[in-house]
Structure 1
Amino acid sequence: MAGRITDLDTDTAAAHQLFASLDAMEGLPPAPAAPVKPDRFPYEGALRRVYPGLIVAATIGIAATWLSTHYSAPVMLYALLLGMAFHFLHEEGACIAGIEFSSKAILRVGVALLGARITAEQIMSLGPWPILLVVTGVITTILFGALLAKRLGLSRNFGVLTGGAVAICGASAALAVASVLPKTRDSERDTILTVVTVTALSTIAMIVYPLLSTALGFSHTQAGIFIGGTIHDVAQVVGAGYSISNETGDTATYVKLLRVAMLVPVVFSIALLVRRGSPANAGAAPKLPTFLIGFVALVVINSLGFLPKPVADFAGELSRWCLVTAISALGMKTSFKALAAVGWKPVGLMVAETLWIGTLVLIAVKSLV
């Protein structure tokens, strides 16, 4: 038996050598190149390149949505974790172009479509104090994040990224802010880490903050302002607010949408500062990112009543699907090993930012509302 195995191994090695020698022979005609077919419609070639990765990202998004529906956990977190399990698809193969397309172009479409959820009437119905509170909370949280990141030995850009995610609208804000920050070797890893942590913190806040509001004896309006002004993601704000009462849920949703509206001035300001800080762009006129123009246009159209409710609802649902697909693609671009190497400081930074905006809004609600 041992001899047979040895003979078989020898024959196999000889066969490999034979084929290797045949491959090395000169004078063999080269294999004919596949004919290049002309595009039958515009961008056919581009679509052929991106569709494998796009389909994979969308499929992971569908799986994440199913899990979220059946197990009551944040869909963004599922999309990230499932995407990271398929990280090998971004290392080589036909899916790379589609994954890149999903993490960038699809992301921008999703952020732009968020504007269909907001009207000027919703914002103005809150009155001056909640508006001032939201603006103050957003600005101070981002500044706090940038300063604390520097003290912790992290980059200031990472502090701006996490501060924007905590202050505005969680994962969506993280993606929007990351799209205008300078690109570095760790940019995508930092974005994924921010989304994972801010989603986890938002889920904890969704459970704890309604209990805290009840324990402090907040009215429905006070509880709505506190929940809408502090919890990171829109879905968790809605869940926490309506778990108390319909009035609290409505108030929390409007306050949260005001924070989402802050995405435009914040992202534009960051893009302007980044552009001025780059020697290559010194003196150049600032350009508003296209997806922010779309965001503002949809807010204006919806505020003027030109956007029918079914269309606005469809745009909101499409926005959610785009963002879930983009998160899945970002997950595929990041490895668990890269995340594990960052240590405790980034997580500590986001916890501190969450405590900052929570304490600020809590004091304001107790004192002013």
Structure 2
Amino acid sequence: MVSSIAAAGGLPKFLSGVGHGFLVSVVVAIAAQFLSEHYGAPAMLMALLLGIAFHFLAEEGVCKPGIEFTARTVLRFGVALLGARISVELMIGLGPQLIAVVIAGVIATILFGLLGARFLRRGWRFGLLTGGSVAICGASAAMAISAVLPKNEHSERNLIFTVLSVTVLSTVAMIVYPILTETFDFDHEISGVFLGGTIHDVAQVVGAGFSVSDQTGEVATLVKLIRVAMLAPVVLVISILVRRHAGNGLADGKRPPILPLFVVGFLAFATLNSLGLIPPAVSAAMASLSRWALLISIAAVGMKTSLKRILDVGGQAIILIVAETVFIALFVLTGVALLHH
């Protein structure tokens, strides 16, 4: 069997090309998951920080091609599998008004990010990246949006900064926001909408929601999945705009596809799940595989960027992403308050 694989040039070719860097990323991701399970630290944050510690592997040597492959291809595979968590039936149960508040919050936060970036004299790429990650689903959205944005010398640094920032802010929100729901005496549904509509990462939403009550946790998770569902249309719109600019000579020659393949995969899996064609056990397995793919890819992204470059991002970037976090919290809170009074 081994000889047949060798003759076909399959596994040996993979290992000699990108296997080393991929396996290193897997090991870092496993270590991050271990730290998360035993010490309560966010797995994405641990994968990122551990990856940064191994930056030297991405500079030269046998691991470099595999790290590039993992940060790009494995990332897109993980984002595509996220679609298996989405279904129309789940969303309908929340009601059109609350869904409208959540969707409006996503759009408004992205626009706020663009305006804030312009006000602080940051590039539009940075505004889209931070606004989209805060508005949709944290680190996963940051990596998906980064995949379709035109690259420049600051792209990797900005991605690392955004992933690091939204993960830290999401962890803080997981602790603080449940206290706010008790302070304002929200009922279970309002608490769930507030937590699911404002906290960045899915894991922190689940943690915050179920720390209040089971009902709050279920509503929060559902609301969060609606935000995750916005990932595909947002990436599609960005891709179309970037493609148009590429045609006008604002990007490096080659025009990106109008619909990236990983977005097609996301939409396909979401459609299949909405039609009930993906069994629950398979959907759960795909969600787990997606999470691992994203964890492995963020470890690789961490390896590609030095800590010094992250520190060069500046205080204005921190102000922007904190302002976006506060903005979406106030927006959703206001919307929910208006609907229930």
**What TM-score comes out, normalization by structure 1 length?**
0.87
Query: How far off its partner does 1:46 sit?
Result: 4.1
Q: Match of 2:318, as an amino acid?
A: V
Post-superposition Cα deviations, 1:58-106, rounded to whole Å, max 9, x if no partner, equal: 0000000000111111100000000000000011100001000000000
Cα distance per residue 1:209-242 (max 9 Å; x no partner): 1100111011100000000100000000000001
User: Which of residues 227, 237, 246 is equivalent to 1:259?
Assistant: 227
Distance 1:321 1:42 in 2: 27
Provide the rounded CA distance (Å) in 2 between the counterparts of 1:330 and 1:174: 12
Q: Aligned partners of 1:288, 1:225: CA distance in 2, in Å?
A: 31
Q: 1:297 aligns with which of 262, 268, 286?
A: 268
Q: Which residue of 274, 277, 285 corresponds with 1:306?
A: 277
- Which residue is equivalent to 2:201? 233
Cα deviation, 1:245-303, whole Å, max 9, x if unaligned, reads 11111110100000000001100000111111122589x89621101111111111111
Answer with 1 or 2: which has the greater Rg. Answer: 1
Partner residue of 1:318? 289
Q: Distance in 2 between matches of 1:97 and 1:345?
A: 33
- Shift of residue 111, structure 1, vs aligned partner: 0.3
CA distance in 1, matches of 2:16, 2:264: 29
Look up the equivalent residue of 2:304 and give its one-letter code.
Answer: K
2:8 aligned to which of 10, 27, 41: 41
Count of residues paired in the alignment = 331
Secondary structure at 1:40's aligned position in 2?
helix
Q: Is residue 239–residue 256 contact of structure 2 (8 Å, CA) maintained in 1?
A: no
Q: Which amino acid aligns with 2:259?
A: L
The 1-side partners of 2:142 and 2:108 are apart by 17
1:360 partner letter: F
The residue type equivalent to 2:91 in the other structure is I
Runs of 4+ in 1 over 6 A off after TM superposition: none
2:156 pairs with 160, 181, 188, which one? Answer: 188
Which of 172, 183, 197 matches 1:215?
183
Structure 1 residues 351-362: aligned runs within 5 Å: 351-362=322-333
Counterpart secondary structure, 1:184: coil
1:285 to 1:107, Cα distance in 2 relative to 1, 3 A:
closer
**Residue in structure 1 matched with residue 237 of structure 2 by the alignment:** 269
| Aligned 8 A contact 2:157 2:313 in 1 | no
**Cα shift readout 1:93-122 (whole Å, capped 9, x = no counterpart):** 000010000000000000001111111101
Q: 1:91 to 1:285 in 2, by over 3 A?
A: closer
1:328 maps onto 2:296 in alignment: no
Report the secondary structure of 1:339's partner residue. Answer: helix
Name the structure 1 match of 2:72.
Answer: 104
Distance in 1 between residues matched to 2:132 and 2:140, nearest whole Å: 10
Quote the Cα distance in structure 2 between the aligned partners of 1:175 and 1:160.
12
Q: What is the CA distance between 1:352 and its match in structure 2?
A: 0.2
Partner secondary structure for residue 179 of structure 1 = helix
Indicate the percent of aligned positions where both proteins have the same amino acid: 53
- Residue identity matched to 2:280: K
1:42 offset after TM fit, Å?
Answer: 4.8
* Candidates 102, 105, 123, aligned match of 1:137: 105
Alpha-carbon distance, 1:40 to partner: 1.6
Q: For the residues of structure 2 that align with 1:269 and 1:343, how far apart are their CA atoms?
A: 29
Given the alignment of the two structures, is residue 249 of structure 1 paired with residue 249 of structure 2, yes or no?
Answer: no
Contact 2:243 2:258 in 1 (8 A): no
Distance 2:261 2:201 in 1: 23
Offset of 1:39 from its aligned partner? Answer: 5.7
Supply the AA of the counterpart residue of 1:233.
Answer: D
Paired with 1:160 and 1:292, the residues of 2 have a C-alpha distance of: 17
1:30 alignment partner in structure 2: none
Partner of 1:117: 85
* Unmatched segments (≥5 aa) in structure 2: none
TM-superposed CA distance for 1:48, in Å, is 2.0
- Offset, 1:45: 2.5
Q: Counterpart amino acid of 1:266?
A: V
Aligned-residue Cα RMSD (Å) equals 1.5
For residues 183 and 153 of structure 1, what CA distance do their matches in structure 2 show?
A: 18
Q: State whether structure 2 residue 89 is matched by structure 1 residue 89.
A: no
Pick the aligned partner of 1:198 from 140, 160, 166.
166
In structure 2, C-alpha distance between the alignment counterparts of 1:357 and 1:141, rounded to whole Å: 6
